[in-house]
Structure 1
Amino acid sequence: MSEAMLSKVRKLLAKAEDPACTPEESAAFTAKATELIARYGVDRALLAARDPASDPVTDRIVDIRAPYARDKAGLLAAVADPLRCRCVRRRHGDGFAMHLFGFASDLDRVDLLWTSLLVQAAHGLAGARVPPGEHPAAFRRSWLAGFAQVVGSRVRAAEETAVAESGAPAMALVLVDRSDRVQHRLAETYPTVRTAPRRRLAGGGFASGAAAGHRADLGGRAGVPGPGGPALPR
């Protein structure tokens, strides 16, 4: 993401996080930051359609460590998919190596959002109350699942709005082509990859995590941790 755009996003989020802001003002600043990131994706896609070398299809590997490595990986996948990136999860030590495929600009957007959301998830979990008698780990896994599902839906909605408002007649075809090229790159690298079975979780934290997902900032932050992310409560 360009420094000018990143600066705008950081300023909006600083305002959103100001304790003097009302909830309505904070939500408005957050929505604007999310909108800027989505618009940036559309602009880069249109530029790359004219100049493919400006935004190549590439890949990167993100190392995700315990605790809750699978849940962090799920959050990464929830953010990557609406931003037209694809990922393959591989077991690596006590965590996972997530191999991401996408256009360079989209992978940068995924990294910006995911690292910010990890921080927000850690803060949300730290303040979440585990019901009496429920296993804390089961509650937190279901909390993270709810958080990831809502965040993914919000990112997708922001992307769809940005595309609709772009006014570019060929935008849909451009995005289909980009998605096809990313999928082709993945298939070349993993010709026999399989979709993982749907995960079943027993904890009761889904609704609480989903509520936190609705409140989450989706514009990214400066100075967030690297791929390992912050320490989530055990």
Structure 2
Amino acid sequence: MSKRKGERGPVMGDPATDQLVEQAVYQVIGAPADGLDPALDASASILAASAERWPAVSLALVAFAEQSVGRTWANGWRPADLVRVVRRGLGPVQLALAVDLIAAEGRRHPAATLDRRWQEQLRELAVEVWWRTDEEYLAEFAVRHRLDRFALATAVLELLRVWGHLPTITPVGPAPGAAPLRPSRPTGPVTGEPRMLSRIRALLAKAESTEYPEEAEALTAKAQQLMAQHSIDEALLAVGHPAKDTPAALRIGVDNPYEGPKTMLLDAVAAANRCRVVWAKEFGFCTIVGFDADLDGVELLYTSLLVQATSAMHRAGSRQHLDGASRTKSFRQSFLVAYAARIRERLTAATEQTTKDAAAGKHLREDGTAEQLVPDERLLPALAAREEAVDRTVGQMFPKLTAQRVRVSDGEGWAAGRAAADRADLHGRAGAIRA
């Protein structure tokens, strides 16, 4: 009995083919690095040998992959993480396979059992069960990507080997099927999003798209002001209900080139918004720990500032040594380090002013205008308590942490990066307490 498109429940295939597929996959997963090519060739040849057996192989491979993906969920991985690992180490065919096999495993879980960030990742990856049946999946995939059976079997085995070697990592939310840690609230531009967050998103989108630096600076500054006010409002709403508002976590991909300076920029944005960053360099992501409203803002602002920093870096051009050799890489590395360092300075300064204004009762409306309210004496203790809660959570999630230094080797790049950060014009920002 085969599984139709979108169908859930057990899959019954040919036991002999199931065993053949399992042996082939484990032979590749268990092969040493210097023996991988022969293992791949032998296993792929066995799987692709018979056109008549190909549908049964397809059914068995999809079923095996579903189990493999499910194990990674239990080990702390999430959809974007699996795709990121594949993108870093394999090619476009394996990347397409990864998205499909995540979609196949997703048939087991109703949307109501997935937390909001999980659902967002599925939407961003555009996961879809597009094939008619699992028996037909490999044949239909091969037609789409113009592959023969051997090439496709090899690609599937390479993918399953990479996933099979992933270690257990610290989870950042419930796995599918587990109850969400907090009520679901969408963060994409969809019905139900907080108006303040929608406004922030719109301002940052305009800042990234405008051709005029001054306009981008003003839009980014206004977005940060609204973001900080949203965070303060959330902190005050949570006073007296600490059990209902506890620190959470998310992962943000940080890839080469210049992954060190990019991580510094993310850390600068996170620190200014009461969040902490832990970098997993091997896997190309950072874990951000903080309260939900702050995490949403950090992700939005970091993404926007990275776009603006990258544009400014490319406008600064390439560089050469006197002998004609390129020094563009060192220049850009130093540029981004300086950019991140200067952004940190300016956000830290803005934090002090913003906290002072908020404590005095100054409140920023969603439309950007200010109003004077009665000062709320609960604010500073509430912010301090949130800092302490984030620090405790980081200690529980990551009991062993080390510091990472990033080298600066180009003085011109450093000066250009600081100048670009100054042009980001964050002096009007309303930052938040630094974690």
Which TM class, normalised by the smaller chain length? 0.7 to 0.9
Q: Is the CA contact 2:208–2:307 (under 8 Å) kept in the aligned structure 1?
A: no
- Is 2:266 the counterpart of 1:58? no
Structure of higher RCO (CA pairs closer than 8 Å, 6+ residues apart): 1
- Is 2:389 the counterpart of 1:199? no
- 1:178 aligns to what? 386
- Is 2:322 the counterpart of 1:139? no
**Using the alignment, how far apart are the partners of 1:3 and 1:170 within structure 2?**
23
- Is 2:313 the counterpart of 1:122? no
Specify the SS of the correspondent of 1:79: helix
**The one of 23, 38, 41 aligned to 2:231:** 41
Which range is displaced more, 98-107 or 63-72? Answer: 63-72
The 1:162–1:125 alpha-carbon spacing in structure 2 relative to 1, beyond 3 Å, is same
Residue 87 of structure 1 deviates from its aligned partner by 1.4
**Using the alignment, how far apart are the partners of 2:213 and 2:327 within structure 1?**
35
The residue type equivalent to 1:51 in the other structure is H
Residue 190 of structure 1 deviates from its aligned partner by 1.6
> Greater Rg, structure 1 or structure 2?
2
**The one of 348, 353, 356 aligned to 1:156:** 348
Which range is displaced more, 51-60 or 104-113? Answer: 51-60
Q: Is the CA contact 1:139–1:205 (under 8 Å) kept in the aligned structure 2?
A: yes
The 1:11–1:189 alpha-carbon spacing in structure 2 relative to 1, beyond 3 Å, is closer
**The one of 87, 92, 102 aligned to 2:277:** 87
**Using the alignment, how far apart are the partners of 1:113 and 1:22 within structure 2?**
17
Residue 33 of structure 1 deviates from its aligned partner by 2.7
**The one of 420, 423, 433 aligned to 1:212:** 420
Residue 73 of structure 1 deviates from its aligned partner by 1.2
Deviations 1:41-78 (CA, angstroms, capped at 9, x unpaired): 11111112233355431112222222112221111111
- 2:199 aligns to what? 8
Specify the SS of the correspondent of 2:251: strand
The 1:185–1:18 alpha-carbon spacing in structure 2 relative to 1, beyond 3 Å, is closer
Q: Is the CA contact 2:260–2:406 (under 8 Å) kept in the aligned structure 1?
A: no
Identical positions, percent: 35
TM-score by length of 1: 0.79
The 1:68–1:163 alpha-carbon spacing in structure 2 relative to 1, beyond 3 Å, is same
The 1:112–1:12 alpha-carbon spacing in structure 2 relative to 1, beyond 3 Å, is closer
The residue type equivalent to 2:339 in the other structure is F
Deviations 1:1-60 (CA, angstroms, capped at 9, x unpaired): 7542134335655489766x794x765554333221111111111112233355431112
**Using the alignment, how far apart are the partners of 1:118 and 1:7 within structure 2?**
20
Residue 172 of structure 1 deviates from its aligned partner by 2.1
The 1:67–1:115 alpha-carbon spacing in structure 2 relative to 1, beyond 3 Å, is same
Q: Is the CA contact 2:264–2:341 (under 8 Å) kept in the aligned structure 1?
A: no
The 1:99–1:214 alpha-carbon spacing in structure 2 relative to 1, beyond 3 Å, is same
The 1:12–1:109 alpha-carbon spacing in structure 2 relative to 1, beyond 3 Å, is closer
TM-score by length of 2: 0.45
Q: Is the CA contact 1:117–1:217 (under 8 Å) kept in the aligned structure 2?
A: no
**Using the alignment, how far apart are the partners of 1:161 and 1:153 within structure 2?**
13
Specify the SS of the correspondent of 1:83: coil
- Is 2:357 the counterpart of 1:165? yes
Q: CA RMSD in A?
A: 2.8
**Using the alignment, how far apart are the partners of 2:198 and 2:252 within structure 1?**
25
**The one of 97, 107, 114 aligned to 2:295:** 107
**Using the alignment, how far apart are the partners of 2:316 and 2:244 within structure 1?**
44
The residue type equivalent to 1:146 in the other structure is A
**Using the alignment, how far apart are the partners of 2:311 and 2:397 within structure 1?**
36
**Using the alignment, how far apart are the partners of 2:341 and 2:288 within structure 1?**
19
**Using the alignment, how far apart are the partners of 1:15 and 1:119 within structure 2?**
10
Q: Is the CA contact 2:342–2:418 (under 8 Å) kept in the aligned structure 1?
A: yes
**Using the alignment, how far apart are the partners of 2:332 and 2:256 within structure 1?**
13
**Using the alignment, how far apart are the partners of 1:26 and 1:127 within structure 2?**
15
The residue type equivalent to 1:70 in the other structure is G
Specify the SS of the correspondent of 1:138: helix
Specify the SS of the correspondent of 1:43: helix
Specify the SS of the correspondent of 2:272: helix
Paired residues, what number?
Answer: 214
The 1:30–1:116 alpha-carbon spacing in structure 2 relative to 1, beyond 3 Å, is closer
Residue 99 of structure 1 deviates from its aligned partner by 1.6
- 1:68 aligns to what? 258
Greater strand fraction, Structure 1 or Structure 2: 1
The 1:157–1:100 alpha-carbon spacing in structure 2 relative to 1, beyond 3 Å, is same
Specify the SS of the correspondent of 2:252: strand
**Using the alignment, how far apart are the partners of 1:27 and 1:115 within structure 2?**
15
